[in-house]
Every structure is written in structure tokens, then in C-alpha cells.
Structure 1
Amino acid sequence: MDNEVAAGNTTATLGRLALGLTLLAFGLGSTGVIDHVGAADAAGLATWVGGVTLFLVGLLALRAGNTAEGTASSALGAFWFTWGTGVGDSGSAEAAGLFLLLWALLALTLTAAAKGSGLFGQGVHGLLFVALLLMGTGALADHAGLGKAGGWVAAVAGLAAWYGATAAVAGWPTSLARRSRGAATAS
């Protein structure tokens, strides 16, 4: 097994932890799988861990010259802070759906920009895009099933981001060993 995670990159690891925990709480809350727990219950975590922490991680990464990590973390921090502080406002479902779809565009941009970064870069952002797309479409179409499906995708993205951070700290593998082209396969 090959370890693709740069264990020395503390800001990226902290960013993955913040994103993972926030996505997991937001996603599970959106699924309705836990009685009396909804997505709005993740607002405090989204504001402070997802919003403030990710934004600060992004600024530190930008200061260190890591434009990709800095842009992604700062932008996601702005998203989570905005979502966390806006929960419970008297906005319409259509406004919430539009908000999620606009931020899905950001996630799509981050997915494209993370080309070559593997599962824990491009994969997490890609899953976030799908989650926001499903949730935004569900809000606009008044279709709770799409919102729940988006919640599950967000929870999976959160687990992937959390694993990426934990793997960096613990030195765990993040990819399977690749076979050479001429290697025989087991039948």
C-alpha cells in the first residue's frame, strides 16, 4: 500500500478534520436517521468548526503559498459560516435550494481544481458537489427524498475527509498498491 497523504501538512490535515466533522454532522442531520436531530442542529458546528476553522486554515495555507488548499478551505469556510449563521432564518425553501445549488457550483470548481489529488481531494469535493446538488434540487422541488439522499452523500464525504485526516496523522494508507501492467492476475 502506498501512502499519498503528506503527513507533515498540518493545515491540510486540520482542514480535512474540520470539513469531515462538519459534513458528517450536517449529512446525518439531513438524513433524519437520528430521532429529533436535523440538519439545523449542526449549525453551531458548521459555524465554528466548518466556518471559522476552515477559513483560518485557508488563510494559513494561502500565507504558506498553497493556493489550492487555501482557496478550497477559505471558500468552504465561507460556505459553512454562511449556512451555520443563516439556519432558522425565515427564508423560503426556494431560497435555501438556490443557496445550496450556488454553493454546489463552488464544490464543482473545487472538484475540477483538485485534479490529481486523489480520493481525499477530488473525491471529497465531488461528493460534496453531488450532496449539494441533490439537497438544492430537493429543496426547490419540495422533494424530501432528494434531501435525504444528499444527506447520505454528505455523510459519506464527511467520512472520507475524516479518514484522510486521520490517515495523515496515523500514517495509514490512502490508496491501494498499483499493479504493473504486465503483472498476472489471480483467477
Structure 2
Amino acid sequence: MPAYNKADLERRMTGALESLKGDLVGLRTGRASTSLLDPVTVTVYGASMPLNQVATVSVPEPRMISVQVWDKTNVGPVDKAIRSAGLGLNPIVDGQTLRLPIPDLTEERRKELAKLASKYAENARIAARNVRRDGMDNLKLDEKKNEISEDERKKLEGDVQKLTDSTIADIDAAATAKEKEILGQ
């Protein structure tokens, strides 16, 4: 059985891109978004749960996130989880509702977030290159085992490179768009 698997390489490259998009969504741009709270986990009922499993998250205004906690005994743990998530948000507790005003970003903070977006993009590019390396190694292995010819290996290496180039272009586009959004351009 050949070691090279094009579908697996495509899946792994797509995974690197999707992971980057997930990381970028979590970067605050000064606008309220429910996805800002996606990384928040709350310890309730003796278990750690995503925030959206214990409360309804909505955006009633452009600079406000509202978190409606379903069980009033969980208001304290939800408040604590949001404060300790490192998002720079300070909830205002109002009964079972937590209101999260989104503060303006300072120029310095915008630059830090843009650098972080670049770092996330570089990690995704490294992941894509590692997938490419695995694909190339598998092709050489298949050639060594006489499962494919040298010409076929070279053709498939070209396909792997095209897939890598395409994925990296998508990564760059996603990172550039997020950096512009953060910097307010």
C-alpha cells in the first residue's frame, strides 16, 4: 500500500488553515462578537464546560456582549471564567445576565494583536510545510519500494507543492485581512 495519500495531505493542510481561522476569530478587534467568548470554559457541576453550554451569548449592541446564564447558581463561576480568560473583559453582573462592554483598543494593543495574528499565521505556515515534507517523504518512500516511478514521483511532488502554495496563500490572505481589521485600516 502506498505511503502517499493525497486526501490525507489535503485534510491536514485544510486543518492548518481552519485552526488559524479559529485562532484569528478569537483576536479582539474592538467590535463585539459572540466568538470572542468561544475559548472561555466554565467549571460548573464538577466539570469544565464551554460557556455556550451554560449560557446564551448574544450581541445586543456593537460594543456590548450579553451573557444570559441559565442557572443562577452558575453566575459566579461564569463571571470568574470570563475575568480569568485573559480577554481584558470585565463583566457587569445584573441578576442572571452578565454585560460585557468592549473597551476601545489602544494603538499599542492593536499592534500587539497584529503581531499575534502574524505569529498565528507563521505557525500555520509551518504546519503546512510540515505536511508538505511528510508528503514528499512518503513519495520518496513509495518510489524506493517501487510502488511508483521516478516520473510519477516528480509529478506528484509538483501536486503537493501546488497544494502547499495554495494553502499558504490562503493563510496569508486570512492573516492580512485580520491584521487590517485589527489596525482599523
Please report the TM-score for the alignment, with normalisation by the length of structure 1.
Answer: 0.29
Query: Which protein has the bigger helix share?
Result: 1
Structure number with the higher strand fraction is 2
> TM-score when scaled to structure 2?
0.30
